[in-house]
Amino acid sequence: MILYSIKELLLLAATAIVIDWIVGDPKWPTHPVIWIGRLIRLLERLLAPERFTGRPAAVKALGVVLTLTTLMISCGVMWLLVWAADAVHPWLGYAVSAWFISTTLAVKGLKEAAMLVYRPLLEGRLDEARKYVGYIVGRDTAKLDEREASRAAVETVAENTVDALVSPLLFALIGGAPLAMLYRAANTLDSMVGYRSEKYVHFGWCSARTDDVLNFVPARLTGVMLTISAFFLPRMNAREAARAIRSFAHLHPSPNSGIPESAVAGALGIELGGTNTYFGVTSERARMGWPTRSLQPDDIVSTVRLLHSVSFILFIGVIAVWFVVS
């Protein structure tokens, strides 16, 4: 079994952050998340939970099988790839590990996705902005105005500061690429089947709860780092970020997503949450933050700056710990 030392894990994590800053989501070879998604759909077809309609306990049991199987295969395949690379040469093992850890991060990818919404909004091309919002959120986008399109992008970047940066990096620091990929598989499961819709309310229950558990500590660390970032970035309010977390985070339906969203709302002096529409059904989400001004497209850029600041804090922290343990 491959067991990297703490020093090696720290260097792999730091290298992965830099790779993600520069390269972002790989276009080739196929991104691991796409393969994980294909695995989930294959397992869903094989398990066929629709056969047990009216038997929620049986459907939940199948959901547990889906979750455990996906996590084990994702982690196991990643371990085999690292093991094979390390068997050829240790440096190849390091390279494979750093590369695959970087694919579990998405700082550059999040920025690019947010800018695809921001630029059309800035130029008054609302229909184009709505199209790109639809790429990053599950809500209906056809009737979004400028403010609501901006809100959707801000909330996505804020929430994914946990999912696409802090959580996978922390798991990489614990168990290298295999554990980082296990986390990414759990997060992909949640995004694909972790809904409270009629179809997935029971089948996706285990996937949703697993994602909640894995993100519990990282989300709270993210809140701290967002508050620190707001202290150093211009025109942001760290005190209000911390106060917003205390006041609003618990109101969010997710035990974790409310923390980064309320922190960003407080830091920028805006209000997040409100009315969303999913498949024609209106849903009212808790409102977070004190709206000292109206939310605008420039808030997308400010949220991306917070994201980058958190990634920089993590990078500096990892390097500092490496020097301490060296």
Instruction: Report pLDDT for 218.
Output: 98
> What's the one-letter identity of residue 107?
V
- Residue 5 predicted with pLDDT over 90: yes
Least confident range from 104-118, 180-194, 248-262, 282-296: namely 282-296
Task: State the chain's mean pLDDT as an integer.
Answer: 95
Banded pLDDT at 25 (limits 50, 70, 90): confident
pLDDT in tens, 132-152: 999 999 888 998 999 999 999
Are the C-beta atoms of residues 207 and 182 closer than 8 Å to each other?
no
Beta-strand ranges (E) seen in the chain are: 272-278, 281-288
- Residue 45 predicted with pLDDT over 70: yes
Average pLDDT over residues 188-215: 94
Q: Enter the pTM of the model.
A: 0.95
- Residue 113 predicted with pLDDT over 80: yes
Instruction: Report pLDDT for 195.
Output: 84
DSSP letters for 183-221: HHHHHHHHHHH---STTTTTTTHHHHHHHHHHHHHHHHH
- If one compares 1 and 86, the residue with the highest pLDDT of the two is 86
Instruction: Report pLDDT for 285.
Output: 86
Percent of the chain whose pLDDT exceeds 90: 89
pLDDT in tens, 245-260: 999 999 999 999 999 9
Query: For the chain, which residues make up each domain, given as ranges?
Result: 6-325
C-alpha 151/C-alpha 299 separation (Å) is 8
Peptide bond into 253 cis (omega under 30): no
Are the C-beta atoms of residues 207 and 190 closer than 8 Å to each other?
yes
- The torsion angle over the Cα atoms of residues 139, 142, 146 and 147, rounded to 10 degrees, is -30
Pairing of β 272-278 and β 281-288: antiparallel
- Residue 1 predicted with pLDDT over 70: no
pLDDT in tens, 297-325: 999 999 999 999 999 999 999 999 999 99
